[in-house]
Amino acid sequence: MDTKKIFCPDIGDFEEVDVIEILVKEGQTVDIETPLVTLESDKATMDVPSDKEGTILTIDISIGDKVSKGTQLFSLKNSEAQVIQVAEKSQTDAAINVEKTPSEVIPIKVPDIGDFEEVDVIEILVKEGQTVDIETPLVTLESDKATMDVPSPLAGRIDRILVKIGNKVSKNDTLALIFSDANQDKQEQMSPEITDSLAEVKQSLDNAGDANDASQDIETIPPITSLKNIVRTSFASPSIRKFARELGVNITNVNGSGPKNRILKDDIQAFVKTQLQANHAEIKTKLINKEQLQKHGEWAEESLTRIQKRTGENLHASWTNIPHVFQMDEIDVTELEKFRKEKAIDLKSENIKLTLLAFIIKATTTAMQEFPRFNSSLIDEGNKIALKKYYNVGFATNTENGLVVPVVKDTDQKGVVQIAREVNELADLAKNKQLKIQQMEGGCFTVSNLGAIAGSFFTPIINPPEVAILGVSPIKIKPLWKNGGFIPRQVLPITLSYDHRVIDGVAGATFTRYFGEILSDIRTAIL
């Protein structure tokens, strides 16, 4: 008996990597490139494919073992089935003498996928009417051990798809019907719905040479007898495939940068980034042009200010890259407003305008001290957060040139009156275009206050590297239940926008509740 051994290949700089999954069993026939075992280092997960054909004789490792380059993994013996398969194929080819029709609808069935039964359909990679080539992935199947693609055994056009995501399939179940046409030119004429891709298809056919008989009977399709034929040519571990599905990425569109075109996590992330940039560019190209406007009537042109353009770019990047969550609430500020107006009269002689904003900034600071994650920033490529020990709160200010955000520094060390004084000074500087860069840097949290302008709620966009922003709408008079009856109260609508990567919904709701309690008892809480 001819015995062959399979050793752990060169896996780069990794040493003593863990065996986390064994993908074959003793007695199983494998081909070259059949995945055998999954290894995991502290940085990546990778499959080790077979570099030989044969039948698994012994498995020399166990889950939990640590292996390095040169460690023996398996032993193989020559498979008698290989010889039998060759003979059977020759006999079949010799026996078949059927006149092929120019075109026909052929069922595509689930091939032999080993010992797997009732595997899940987790992705459908084509659509009806789509033209496919031989080996084009059609569907993705997932068992409890592996994820695999089923490729098309022939070229043609998808007539019908007979499975849905979530279906369970087994060997010989029909996945789809494919319309195979021996005359490609005729097929192109019969497929006007895909005329936008004809040039690409024709180029592919030209490069492939003269395929004078692409159509064949179902009996003539070579049987798929191993996992080699149903896994991707670019390998990816089950964890990477799961990561791609969570992001909505069709892994067949991703180019692998690992050994033997293995797809890594970085490849998935780079693909997503590229798509986002492409989508942004596409949006720009869809902006209306002057000629289109002229068709509908008169119009006037006005240039955006430098501040408006810069703000727009930053907000677009924030909205695109940060998963925003919005927590809305209403706060009874009747007592606060009564106190503020009384205090404002006393400060009028000092030329200090005591606005609600000063109280909000102080209350926000107190809430950040109670919930430190609201005073943080993502660092280390999003793997860690920096918890700040200082408290600087910015406030959005409207100017002739657009919104700017001056920052009040060290709000934890200042009272409401001092904060009010600095808010007035910074707002005046902003409106007079005298703000310095240093006066707009270092913010930990932003308050966007609409003041007496209209509206009930709005959803402000986070200003990175901050992780939250508070939107404050105008106070409204509303009936609230108190002391056994409805009485008119002054209610402040607020919206807290926060980065869901750092702050969850429970924390967001708790923050707004605590913030509301502070404003309702402002004299004892922050004065």
Question: Catalytic residues, which ones?
Answer: 500
Strand order in the sheet with 35-40: 45-49, 35-40, 17-22, 66-67
Which structure tokens are listed for 290? 């002057």
Q: In angstroms, how far is CA 307 from the centroid of its own chain?
A: 30
Cα angle for residues 98, 99, 101 (degrees, 5° grid): 125
Q: How many CA atoms lie within 13 A of 457 on its CB side?
A: 12
Contact 356, 343 (CB under 8 A): no
Burial of 178 (0-12, 13-18, 19+ CB in 10 A): buried
Residue with tokens 């008169």: 298
Residue with tokens 């939107």: 471
Beta-carbon contacts of residue 314 (< 8 Å; ≥ 6 apart)? 463
Strand, coil or helix: what is 181?
Answer: strand
Instruction: Report residue 324: phi and psi, to 5°.
Output: -75, 140
Which structure tokens are listed for 243? 């990561």
Dump the DSSP string for 14-25: --SEEEEEE---
Residue positions counted in the chain: 527
Cα–Cα distance measured from residue 229 to residue 325, given in angstroms and rounded to the nearest whole number: 44
CB burial of 470-504 (b: ≥16 within 10 Å; e: otherwise) equals bbbbebeeeeeeeeeeeeebbbbbbbbbbbeebbe
Choose among 267, 256, 21: nearest CA to 145: 21
Q: How many CA atoms lie within 13 A of 373 on its CB side?
A: 14
Beta-carbon contacts of residue 14 (< 8 Å; ≥ 6 apart)? 41, 43, 68
Which structure tokens are listed for 224? 């798929």
Cα–Cα distance measured from residue 265 to residue 254, given in angstroms and rounded to the nearest whole number: 11
Torsion of CA 268, 270, 272, 274, to 10 degrees: -150
Strand partners, 18: 40, 66
Cα–Cα distance measured from residue 227 to residue 150, given in angstroms and rounded to the nearest whole number: 10
